[in-house]
Structure 1
């Protein structure tokens, strides 16, 4: 995957904190819905794509009626197949039409429009598949690939792109990939395991998840050795889930551990 991070394309900071989501049913495909120049698809014009993403973010942030927190899309894909990180994985999109739809699916937008460049390139279709598979692997996205119009009254993502979605969103020159294996997570090892001051890659994986959900109290790390910073970070996660008092003491329990979804190591 040719992935372009927010810092690489020059994203502005989010206006508000983005809402965390652990998983979705899948991904909805979008288009820009306005004119996109045909010339954008030329190889020599790839240098314009990052600026296009910046302009779309700026227009969304300037839309006071919608009051967007950030660029509405989870990601954007240019005609050359590059995937531009938008809100990113584990962040609720703002593009699908309402709060429920935004929580149910991520939103990936192709740089095609309702006039000019209306048909996605093969590189772009491959990039869209890359984005879907990234969100499955790193964002808890389910197996569904739908169009924006599925469940919301809109022409998006346009005729050519929606026809591709209806075919199962196959990679160009191939067939629809088999359904990916569901992610596996570390089973809860028991609170006694943590109180025994373990040193394990499980502790590192847990710490990385706590950093990802913005509950870090680490000064450095995380690392494999359980420390007081791990306990403080986990207490922040418990409070994030709504726990308080003894239920937010930083010692992992089965329910909060299941919600954290620590990847299998």
Structure 2
């Protein structure tokens, strides 16, 4: 699943694209970042100047458009600059969806856009070692992004295999407080779908633990305060 809030009509949103693998050697690119369509031949994507470094680049791993095209940005095994936090940029890929807006004026989210996002995430998993986790920009940084696309993240619609949203591959427990972008995704879902009032801050501390135990009890799950695959699955069912 961009960076900015949902105020601008043509802002770029990214849903996030799974946790970055940790290869033994991290590839770095210099010069000009590639920005070509991956599906069909044709026009490339405009270059964006990057200050005094004397190279051109975009912040994202890939970009998806409403016509079903996927454009290559920094690609696999290259650090992003899209998440708004150092940890987010170090550990996560980013797929930017070229859509935006606010309220009733939001651009139409087309089937082609969802298909291109899925294609980008699948590419990052197959070729870039990305794990199963998918988050929205708002799970990393205080922003409204990815706007109307966030519900598609929560439902698992942008996951290449379809919904529900897959377990991120790490279990949440405390103490100590566990910090992870997928915690924010889980906290938001607990509030919006199950009536809790958690701070959506990506920190799994005593408050999140208490809500987890309450939820596990209500759902007949083992009450251990750990958000593992079973509790995650019940949260996003």
TM-score using structure 2 length:
0.48
- Larger strand percent: 1
- Select the structure of larger CA radius of gyration: 1
Greater helix share, 1 or 2? 1
TM-score by length of 1: 0.43
